[in-house]
Amino acid sequence: MIILSFLYILAEVLIALFFFGFGLKYLSHFNTLGENTQLKVWNEQLQIYERKIGDNSMLILLFSVLTIAACILFAIILILLIRNIKAIVFRSKNGEHIETFKEVVEDLFDNKFHITLLAAPITTLILFTVLPIVFMILIAFTNFDSSHQPPGELFTWTGLTNVTDVFLGNSTKTHTFFGILGWTVVWAILATFTNYILGMLLAIIINHKLVKFKKMWRTLFIISIAIPQFVSLLLISRALEPAGAINVALMKAGIISSPLPFLTNTLLARFCVVVINMWIGIPYTMMTFSGVLMNIPAELYESAEIDGAGVLQSFVSITLPYMIFVTAPATITTFVGNINNFNVIYLLTGGGPFALDYYQAGKTDLLVTWLYKLTVDQHDYALASTIGIFIFMLVSTVSLAVYNNTGSVKKEDMFQ
């Protein structure tokens, strides 16, 4: 334990060196995010303009977050050090055995092995999930956009300006946000439950005792999974264009006289993405339900048949409750995934048709695709971060609330 105390002290020293040698320089500018912009200064001797490096708001914010995290780590290690020293003093006074460093290490692979296993995942989670989320949240309270791009320009704190612009202002951004939010919710519900219901029906039909060649039918429906999703979506997108294969075939057949606006009409474009998502998603849900159906005890159906239950009553009383119970967590995950379903929307319609009453968005854009456009195309990182925070809050709140109220959680001990 004495060696362990020295290791704690060494860690404290290293963190202190990081703080005073590197972190404090950035943390001291945290309140302003920089004062000196990058300038071009005329060099009389060389007769050229030289670039004078100024502050970088991005680096100041990033390293300030890391420095604050290091300070928190310093406090945690200090608490552990004090506890360790108290334990040594207490055991020394009472004549108890003081663990050697070797015994401490051996204990980490024995009684405290769970700590050893969790150390790497928790560290990775903090570094690559928690800290980036904190950084994103802080960006939402700045004016970091295309006009304030470091290192050429600085961005500063703006408080709740972005939040009020999106949620409370009577602006194009507010109109765009609530319009896209409404479509995102509608899309998530339709995309989830169309695949869920039709995938369930398909699995029930294929698994029916009167249906032959079950393996062949499953294989045929699963073939679509073997093709990379982005390839399928891009090909379908081209086929739905005015001069695409579908419109050309319909016109040659005399069914239509002019191309159908599959991707340029709002209602038709939304209908297309829902239908095509069914083509992509139903095979997955069919596979899931096939596995569930195969695991329903046959004794339940035999007992129901003896009691005089018909096919419909057996389905309502046995099959449906069983499948809902087993698949509820997966359905919640699918719903959350559809809220953030980037591929289907972006690769199929690109978020279009584009609307003049929307701010840098189209009528089929989801919040996540709008966020992508704001970040990559418009470099409006502050607004994108604000939307990202809302998506995080929406997804986490809905998923946790629904999951904790499902029978899969409440009646977990009853399920056999």
**Contact assessment for residue 198 and residue 284, using Cβ atoms and an 8 Å cutoff:** no
User: How many other CB atoms are found less than 10 A from the CB of residue 377?
Assistant: 10
DSSP secondary structure letter of residue 43: E
Question: Tell me: the pLDDT tens digits for 241-276?
Answer: 999 999 999 999 999 999 999 999 999 999 999 999
User: How many other CB atoms are found less than 10 A from the CB of residue 123?
Assistant: 10
Domain CATH code at residue 238: 1.10.3720.10
In the predicted model, residues of the chain with pLDDT beneath 50 are none
pLDDT recorded at residue 415: 53
- C-alpha distances (whole Å) from 259 to each of 250, 253, 268 are 8, 12, 13
Domain boundary among 119, 141, 159: 159
Domain boundary among 125, 159, 193: 159
Q: Do residues 277 and 173 both lie within one domain?
A: yes
Q: Do residues 350 and 281 both lie within one domain?
A: yes
pLDDT recorded at residue 298: 81
Domain boundary among 93, 126, 159: 159
pLDDT recorded at residue 259: 93
**Contact assessment for residue 343 and residue 230, using Cβ atoms and an 8 Å cutoff:** yes
Q: Do residues 145 and 196 both lie within one domain?
A: no
pTM of this structure:
0.85
Q: Do residues 276 and 329 both lie within one domain?
A: yes
Instruction: Count how many domains the chain has.
Output: 2
Q: Do residues 93 and 185 both lie within one domain?
A: no
Q: Do residues 139 and 76 both lie within one domain?
A: yes
Distance of CA 126 to the CA centre of its chain: 16
Q: Do residues 408 and 338 both lie within one domain?
A: yes
Q: Which tokens sit at 232?
A: 């399928």
pLDDT recorded at residue 387: 93
pLDDT recorded at residue 102: 83
Q: Which tokens sit at 352?
A: 């279009």
Q: Do residues 106 and 223 both lie within one domain?
A: no
CA distance 43 to 39: 12
Q: Do residues 183 and 146 both lie within one domain?
A: no
pLDDT recorded at residue 59: 93
pLDDT recorded at residue 80: 84
Can you say whether the dihedral through the CA atoms of 15, 19, 23, 28 is positive or negative?
positive
Residues of the domain holding 250: 166-414
E strand or H helix that includes residue 42: strand 39-43
Q: Do residues 334 and 283 both lie within one domain?
A: yes
Q: Do residues 45 and 171 both lie within one domain?
A: no
